[in-house]
Structure 1
Amino acid sequence: MSISQTTPTGKPLKGKRNSMTRPQSAIEEVYSNIRNDIENDSLTPAYRIRLHNLFRQIEKEFELLYQENQNLHEKVELLNEKIEREVYDKQSYDCVDFDNNIAKVLSKKLSTTSTQKLKTAYKLKAQTSKIVSSFKAPHLNCAFIKEYLGHKDGIWEVSVARLGQPIMGTASADHSACIWSIDSGRCLLQYHGHSGSVNSVRFHPVKDLVLTSSGDCSAHIWQAVVNWDLPKGHSSEEELEISEDCDDQRCDTKAATLRTPVRELGGHNNAISAAEWLAGAEQVITAGWDRLAVLHDVETGSTITTLSGHDLELTHTATHPTQKLAVTSSRDTTFRLWDFRESVQSVSVFQGHSESVTSAVFTHEDKVVSGSDDRSVKVWDLRNMRSPVATIRADSAINRLSVSLNGIIAIPHDNRHVRLFDLTGQRLARLPRSSRQGGQGHSRMVSCVAWSNDYLNNINLFTCGFDRRVLGWCVQSLRDKEL
């Protein structure tokens, strides 16, 4: 389910929350506004106390309902896990039964054949066994490594630096973007230049620059000069203000704060959902809720061209790693491929989903992977994009996905799951969840995932969500682990 959170002042762009997710910040804001009105009004003390008591009762009732709803979802997940295990066991049994039946048929026929036919038949049986064994997906080991805490509201996006530095960035609905040390977990820099929800964060490929987009209708380019000499012993929880509803009430502001961008990019009259560097990093493309994508010149900040055609709000944009190609995703159920390699850009429209396309990204094998609220992920070949080469079906809406260099698709879901597939649609693994793994995993919607090209502090996958947390994971095959 999708709940819009836009306001004229550039509040959080979009609040995709399923029925089990508590819309905490919105309730707190409403309650805070009413409380301020009560305190500023000329009410009698007794009446004011009564109102406060009533609001406290409402909060308690809401907490009880929320907990009950979460318990029901836990039961549903347990049942889903049971069904998945039964389906997997049945598939494994069918494969074994198929192999045994082939063996019986071959044995019966072999009793009346010559020695040469015996060899041929056993060879056929061996090939059949190889085919059956190939049905089994390679197993990945997924281990939780580190947690990064500090944002006061949900986190829309996580991104890893491309320069090889052990840092990553986050974009949050609390109007801030942060740069984190992957090793220590400390927040090194906070950017507070936006007046609305920060919806995306992307690092420049070769410079210490960061690109962010916001619900305040602007995109900013700012200098990401971080201070690595922060005092040891300070975690990310200490460097960012912890919200009032957290158990930990510590507040520490040792992380550097930046408020002024190097360049501000306009061209939109509504919230900007995402922004990305085009190959070469001389241009930037932004995607907005005004149904437009805009190509900007980085040096001057001017608008090069405005790209129109989508019928509804744009939700995401991504660019090819080496060519001047970009894709824009939209709530109109399509994504578009824009080609800027010639002086006159061309566009192709792809209609493979039945609901909002939440993200579409390029792979390093010249493919495009798209995810949608229709609970599907589709893999497309750039050489022939008339129909997808693989389709992955899920049980929950898809958010901002990511594809690793070796072709593993990490898929974040509204229902707190993160699942891993290969480019053929074969399921590889699922990351642990908080309810089943003693606190590991996300407790609310997972909004974005990001692969790292290298293992940074033994981490190669980051996930973020509306539980205000970023989690670092080590994902590797058992073969790699043994080596």
Structure 2
Amino acid sequence: MPVEGGSSSGSASAARHPKQKRKAHSLSIRRTNSTEDRSPGVQRGDMLEGQDSKLPLSLRNNLLDLFGQIEREFENLYIENLELRREIDSLNERLTGDGQIIEGGDPTKGALKTKASHSTSQLSQKLKTTYKASTSKIVSSFKATAGSRALCQLLKEYVGHRDGIWDLSITRSPPVVLGTASADHSALLWSIETGKCLLRYAGHAGSVNSIKFHPTEQMALTASGDQTAHIWRYMVQLPAPQPPPDVSALCDDDQDSSDREEGEVDGDGPCEVPTIRVPTATLKSHQGVAIAADWLVGGRQVVTASWDRAANLYEVETCELVHTLTGHDQELTHCCTHPTQRLVVTSSRDTTFRLWDFRDPSIHSVNVFQGHTERMVCCTAWNEENQSCNLFTCGFDRQAIGWNINIPALLQEK
């Protein structure tokens, strides 16, 4: 098969075997591009003149330059690889007496696995076996056995949101329902017993970041990325309770909830339930994302926390802004009210949380606490049952901290 020169028989042969022709050109390009074989007086155009190609000469020259660069890089890497191989072999020869080997060495040089590596392998296998056994025990502890009661089991899945869920809450008074706040701009109310969606709130124009229920009435408070907090009333009718599921059937069920298609909903989806689009009250004094909100004891006032570094206290009946709580150096991440006292805790990215006291209507005091050491305090929670450790905080420093807030001492100060 001709590579250089042209004749009628050569042209016919090239036409019959196009694949062989392309292969020959490829070999020719690599061969003729070698700088060592090229004569000083031979020009690139002369080398390509006899080759049968439809490519313009300038494009072929560019291709030759590129292939030449690739070839030179490959040669350099090949030489470096040979040098590294020689160094590895030399080190293996030195360490053979100590029974060690450098990874990547030639096993024919006599550098075999040593007692140390064998012990490491045995230890690794022992750890794997122990981990597997302990994991199996943990998994088996969640499975029901004959004559025993399951310690933990999945009972209900509340599926219906179209984006991530930021917060959830349970009503404090009948009817007892579950509320969820989602980045899909909605809040959903669910029947805890049946897992059925009962109502949808779609009044926000941004992500719903928080949901809290009124202590005595059928009212909900939501905070949103649209810089507002909404108060809205709801009326729901709980469906008839269903018989408890068979525990053994749940444990033997092989279906994984992750295998469901996106948007698949058990029973009635959120599009089939009543939807509220207009709030009873809108609280809009923040200049940033409203990240959290909560009811003060009694339910006549609410507090909101925002990325504008402030928390606001509002009157529910009039929507009037009563106090703006400032002092944090960075964005607020959460707010939480005491269940029986007019106390509010706000947390921030500045690694502190602040305790605000509103028991005296004329004045309010603040105490600053700092126990976390990194980035931010994420969340706070009151614990009324244990007076010795009655407030908890958590943060990006990978720890949760329990605090003792001396409420009787605060009362005496008043």
Task: Kindly indicate whether residue 381 of structure 2 is the aligned counterpart of residue 361 of structure 1.
Answer: yes
Q: How does 1:286-297 map to 2 (within 5 A)?
A: 286-297=304-315
Q: Distance in 2 between matches of 1:329 and 1:310?
A: 8
Q: How does 1:50-65 map to 2 (within 5 A)?
A: none
The answer for the alignment partner of 1:203 in structure 2 is: 213
Q: 1:157 aligns with which of 140, 148, 167?
A: 167
Q: Distance in 2 between matches of 1:287 and 1:194?
A: 17
The TM-score with structure 2 as length reference comes to 0.55
User: Are the aligned partners of 1:227 and 1:256 in contact in 2 as well (CA < 8 Å)?
Assistant: no
Task: Kindly indicate whether residue 344 of structure 2 is the aligned counterpart of residue 321 of structure 1.
Answer: no
The answer for the alignment partner of 2:366 in structure 1 is: 347
Task: Kindly indicate whether residue 392 of structure 2 is the aligned counterpart of residue 376 of structure 1.
Answer: no
Q: 2:352 aligns with which of 331, 334, 351?
A: 334
Q: Distance in 2 between matches of 1:252 and 1:293?
A: 32
The answer for the alignment partner of 1:421 in structure 2 is: none
User: Are the aligned partners of 2:190 and 2:197 in contact in 1 as well (CA < 8 Å)?
Assistant: yes
Task: Kindly indicate whether residue 227 of structure 2 is the aligned counterpart of residue 217 of structure 1.
Answer: yes
Total equivalences in the alignment = 243
User: Are the aligned partners of 1:276 and 1:319 in contact in 2 as well (CA < 8 Å)?
Assistant: yes
The answer for the alignment partner of 2:198 in structure 1 is: 188
CA shift, 1:166, in A, is 2.9
CA shift, 1:254, in A, is 1.8
The answer for the alignment partner of 1:166 in structure 2 is: 176
Q: Distance in 2 between matches of 1:193 and 1:260?
A: 5
Task: Kindly indicate whether residue 146 of structure 2 is the aligned counterpart of residue 142 of structure 1.
Answer: no
CA shift, 1:146, in A, is 1.1
Higher relative contact order (Cα pairs below 8 Å, separated by 6+ residues): 1
Q: How does 1:413-452 map to 2 (within 5 A)?
A: none
Q: Distance in 2 between matches of 1:248 and 1:218?
A: 31
CA gap 1:348/1:229 in 2 versus in 1, 3 angstroms = same
CA shift, 1:142, in A, is 2.8
CA shift, 1:85, in A, is 5.9
SS at match of 1:253: helix
CA RMSD of aligned residues (A): 2.9
Q: Distance in 2 between matches of 1:227 and 1:276?
A: 25
CA shift, 1:160, in A, is 0.3
SS at match of 1:158: strand
Q: Which amino acid aligns with 2:208?
A: V
The TM-score with structure 1 as length reference comes to 0.47
SS at match of 1:222: strand
User: Are the aligned partners of 1:177 and 1:191 in contact in 2 as well (CA < 8 Å)?
Assistant: yes
Q: Which residues of structure 1 form unaligned runs of 5+?
A: 1-77, 87-139, 233-243, 385-483
User: Are the aligned partners of 2:194 and 2:239 in contact in 1 as well (CA < 8 Å)?
Assistant: no
Q: Which residues of structure 2 form unaligned runs of 5+?
A: 1-126, 136-149, 243-259, 408-414
Structure holding more strand per residue: 1
**Largest Rg, 1 or 2:** 2
CA shift, 1:299, in A, is 0.6
Structure holding more helix per residue: 2
SS at match of 2:158: strand
CA gap 1:252/1:373 in 2 versus in 1, 3 angstroms = closer
CA shift, 1:251, in A, is 6.2
